[in-house]
Amino acid sequence: MKNTVKSALLLVALLSSIPAHADFNDGVVALTMGKYDKALQTFLPLAEASDHGFAQYFLARMYAAGQGVEKDTKVAFGWYRKAAEKGIADAQLRLGRLYESGDGGPADMEYAYAWFRVAAHLGSAGGAKAVAAAREKLSDAEYVEAEKLSRGMINDYGTISKSTARTQ
């Protein structure tokens, strides 16, 4: 009887510690089906409380496209940055594009180039193409600085973080 009570108490404790938000995959399905309110309700708590990189990435995409939220490239820029720092290559590529255009944040070709290089380092074909195109827009001096910056960023953000690698 004591073991049953202990087991029941342990189960109650475990269940009460599980977040009340929906599973990440439910958010992806909702987004795919155009159910943006549900996607937002799923991704936002994961992105904020759990620091979930892919939830941050999908929130950025929602804000960039105005899906279920008012289009806001500044907010998208911030969420892309968080996801990019967790090693999500497409977030790195999209953040580089925002730096390139100056939409949502400062226009900075050296940072654009560096984020493209990080994305390419993680295997993004789009990142590799963007590196070549960005190189053409940089002066020789800017290129030297962009390469230095990209080496540091590859060191910092060129791997997928453990928390991102295992989606919850």
Place of tokens 């049953």: 4
Report pLDDT for 2.
Answer: 53
Can you tell me whether residue 49 is helix, strand or coil? helix
Residue 135, burial from CB neighbour count under 10 angstroms (0-12, 13-18, 19+)? middle
Percent of the chain at pLDDT > 90 equals: 79
What is the pLDDT, as a whole number, of residue 123?
96
Q: How far apart are CA 67 and CA 44, in angstroms?
A: 14
Q: Does the structure show a pLDDT above 60 at 135?
A: yes
Q: What is the mean pLDDT of residues 90-101?
A: 98
**Residues 41-67: b if buried by 16+ CB within 10 A, e if exposed:** bbbbbbbeeeebbbbbbbbbbbbbeee
E strand or H helix that includes residue 141: helix 140-157
Cα 77 to Cα 72: distance, rounded to the nearest angstrom: 9
Of 2 and 138, the structure prediction assigns the larger pLDDT to 138
Q: At what angle do helices 89-101 and 73-84 cross, to 10 degrees?
A: 140
1: DSSP letter: -
How far apart CA 102 and CA 132 sit, in angstroms, is 19
Average pLDDT for the chain: 88
CATH topology of domain 23-161: 1.25.40
Q: How much is the pLDDT for 23? A: 87
Residue 150 to residues 89, 117, 118, 136, Cα–Cα distance (Å): 14, 6, 7, 16
Given a cut of 80, is residue 164 above it in pLDDT? no
Q: What is the mean predicted confidence (pLDDT) over 102-115?
A: 97
pTM for the model stands at 0.84
Q: Is the dihedral of CA 135, 138, 144, 150 positive or negative?
A: negative
Q: What is the DSSP letter of 161?
A: -
* pLDDT greater than 50 at residue 166: no
Is a pLDDT exceeding 90 seen at residue 143?
yes
